[in-house]
Amino acid sequence: MEPKRIFVTGNAGFIGFHLAQRLLADGHVVTGYDGVTDYYDVSLKRARLALLAEQPNFTFVEAMLEDGARLKQALAESGAQWVFHLGAQAGVRYSIEHPQSYVQSNLVGTSNLLEAARETPPEHLIFASTSSVYGGNTKIPFAETDRADSPVSLYAATKKSGEAMVHSYSHLWGIAATSVRFFTVYGPWGRPDMALFKFVSAMQQDRAIDIYGEGKMRRDFTYVDDLVDALVRLAGAPPVKGQPVKGDSLSAVAPYRVVNIAGGKPSELMAFVAAVENAMGRKAKHNMLPMQQGDVVATQSDTALLHELIGVLPETPIEVGVARFVEWYRHYYGVN
């Protein structure tokens, strides 16, 4: 593929960092944009940025999504052909206690990004959404064409709103856009507020791990490298109005579609815990707890559209992905 100029919001974050690394390795020119907020350990974000800064084709702009003027300037100066909008306030549970941060980052920030894209349209805009938008849906697996009108967290509601905003700009201004719904992404450099990080940290300190839903929840775990590979492949397949593929979610009025990214092979939470125990070489103390507000019992992706568009699916086994995280964690924190 010919090198592209690419704009990535949220590149100091877990997935944005991995995506930027992959794009740079592929020879693309990347401009990153991130506010480096203190939602979690800022030093972890700075460490990610330091690795990216070693690459000559990487430029970083430290600013908030809420700063519409700075965002417009940065996107225009990047000359981006692809835009990946991963910047957001993440976390289901945090949204219950800090709703305004989600409104500002996920709604106002996305609105600003879309206004910037309207003035300097990319060839393809990819918006990071979440499987959480399926909310209270009881039909499994979740398909892109299913209704997603019952969010059970504000985080999910802001992401579904973001999808609607992206669709409207795609329709009004002809911007080719894809909303990608991520399913429980994990891997090295992951967020400290996510289950895998918490499990390993607790076990390292010989503390009990909190297992919600009494361990009966199921998740379509997606290893971060698989997700990034799917994102890059999807970027090269922008939707075209009036040209659907088999099983498409393509809009009838815009060059816009929704795509799930996952392997479609959910695992029981206790199987995930067993993979962590195996990688750590020890058994964990289990603190069984009821489900938390905003959680759902199970997620599973319908992967037919993703496979139709890019020909492959995420397939890294959880045992392999978890072991890679544990290896990174021990190296990063200098523990055995």
State the catalytic residues. Answer: 155
The number of C-alpha atoms within 13 Å of 56 and in the hemisphere containing its C-beta is 1
Provide the β-strand partners of residue 29: 5
Helices and strands per DSSP (H, E), number in the chain: 12, 13
Q: Is 278 exposed, middle or buried (0-12, 13-18, 19+ CB in 10 A)?
A: middle
| Residues 55, 24 contacting (CB under 8 angstroms) | yes
Round to whole Å and give the CA distance between 268 and 219. Answer: 7
Q: Is 335 exposed, middle or buried (0-12, 13-18, 19+ CB in 10 A)?
A: exposed
Round to whole Å and give the CA distance between 199 and 276. Answer: 8
Opening angle at CA 14, ends 257 and 299, nearest 5: 55
